[in-house]
Structure formats: C-alpha cells, structure tokens
C-alpha cells in the first residue's frame, strides 16, 4: 500500500508524492521541505487549494464577455483562413493568399484573355480569367460569411444568448469545404 502527500505553498498544491506505507515524509525530505507536505487522498492534484483542514479542487474562472468576444474573433480567424474548395481546387484563404487572389482578380479584370498560373494546395494549375473571378468571388464570399457569423455571435454574446465557448463553436460558421 501507499500513502499520498501534497506539498503546499501559499494555499495551493504544487506537488503530489506517493510513498510506501510506513515511510515518514520527514525521512524522505529535508525537514524544512517535509513541513510543507500534508497527507491527502490520491484524488488530490497539483492546483488544488488547501486551507489547513481540507483540499478542494480548483474552481474554473468565470468566463467574461470579453473572453467570449476574443474567442469568437479567434474562431472567425480560424474559419476565415482555413481554406475552401472551389471548382475542385483546394484554395488557401490565409491573409497572404487573399491578397494574392485579389491581385490575380485585378490582373484578369485588366487582361480578360489571359490564362493565369495559379498555385493550389495540390500544385500549379492554369486558370482562365473567368475561373480566377470565380475563385476570387468565392474567397470573398467566404471571408464575408466568416465576419458576418462573428458579428451575429457577438450580438448574441451581448444579449446573453451565447455564454460559453461551446455555444460559439456550435454557431453557424461558413464551411471550409
């Protein structure tokens, strides 16, 4: 059998050790360190609180409105830049790719008869001006849908309809496919 001890500093468990029965904590550690260990059951973990009498599990901090808004923004960014499929091609939608796609769109607007070498996740392909416009419009629509979803979610955070990160994840986000 074994016995479990928690080392406590400033009321928080910073270490949990298990010793064989009959082994005194003072025999295993320097006396100054041994004084910081308290007997506990095996369920106690690092991060638990100790008030001198009992151990309690940590309490998760309350999620604030600012936390939820920041989480929604991070989720929108992940969706926005997560890529999409257009016409059978996997198209990157990170910020640099969005900029390059805008450049290609502007180029084919001025030169409608050109064929553009375009790099997809699978490699280079030749796209017509019409195909470039389709890609650019699809990317633009995807990005706008991501921002629209974030805007709706923030409104729901403000009115109390959304109050947890799981609600944000479950919201209607544009697909990355």
What pLDDT shows up at residue 1?
87
In a domain? residue 78 = yes
How are beta strands 2-9 and 37-40 bridged, if at all? antiparallel
At residue 5, the pLDDT reads 97
How many C-beta neighbours within 10 Å does residue 138 have?
18
Any residues with CB less than 8 A from the CB of 158 and at least 6 apart, and which?
65
**Mean pLDDT of all residues belonging to the chain:** 95
In a domain, 90, yes or no: yes
- Is the pLDDT reported for residue 98 higher than 90? yes
Residues 89 and 117 in one domain: yes
Read off the pTM. Answer: 0.70
Q: Is the pLDDT confidence value at 165 over 90?
A: yes
Which of 33, 56, 79 is the C-terminal boundary of a domain? 56
**Residue range 4-32, pLDDT digits in tens:** 999 999 999 999 999 999 899 998 999 99
| Residues 72, 147 within the same domain | yes
Percentage of residues in the chain having pLDDT higher than 70: 99
Residue count of the chain, please give it.
Answer: 177
Radius of gyration (C-alpha) of the chain in whole angstroms? 28
Tell me if 13 is assigned to some domain: yes
Query: By residue range, what is the domain housing residue 125?
Result: 65-170
């Amino acid at each position: 059998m074994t016995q479990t001890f928690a080392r406590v500093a400033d009321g928080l468990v910073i270490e949990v050790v298990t010793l064989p029965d009959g082994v005194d904590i003072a025999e295993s550690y320097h006396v100054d360190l041994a004084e910081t260990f308290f007997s506990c059951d095996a369920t106690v973990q690092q991060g638990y609180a100790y008030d001198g009498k009992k151990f309690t599990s940590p309490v998760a901090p309350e999620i604030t409105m600012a936390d939820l808004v920041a989480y929604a923004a991070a989720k929108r960014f992940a969706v926005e830049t997560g890529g999409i499929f257009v016409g059978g091609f996997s198209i990157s939608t990170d910020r640099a790719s969005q900029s390059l796609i805008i450049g290609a769109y502007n180029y084919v607007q001025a030169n409608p008869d050109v064929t553009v070498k375009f790099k997809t996740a699978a490699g280079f392909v030749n796209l017509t001006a019409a195909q470039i416009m389709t890609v650019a419009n699809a990317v633009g629509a995807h990005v706008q849908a991501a921002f629209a979803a974030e805007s709706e979610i923030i409104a729901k955070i403000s009115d109390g309809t959304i109050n947890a990160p799981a609600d944000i994840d479950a919201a209607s986000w544009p697909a990355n496919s």
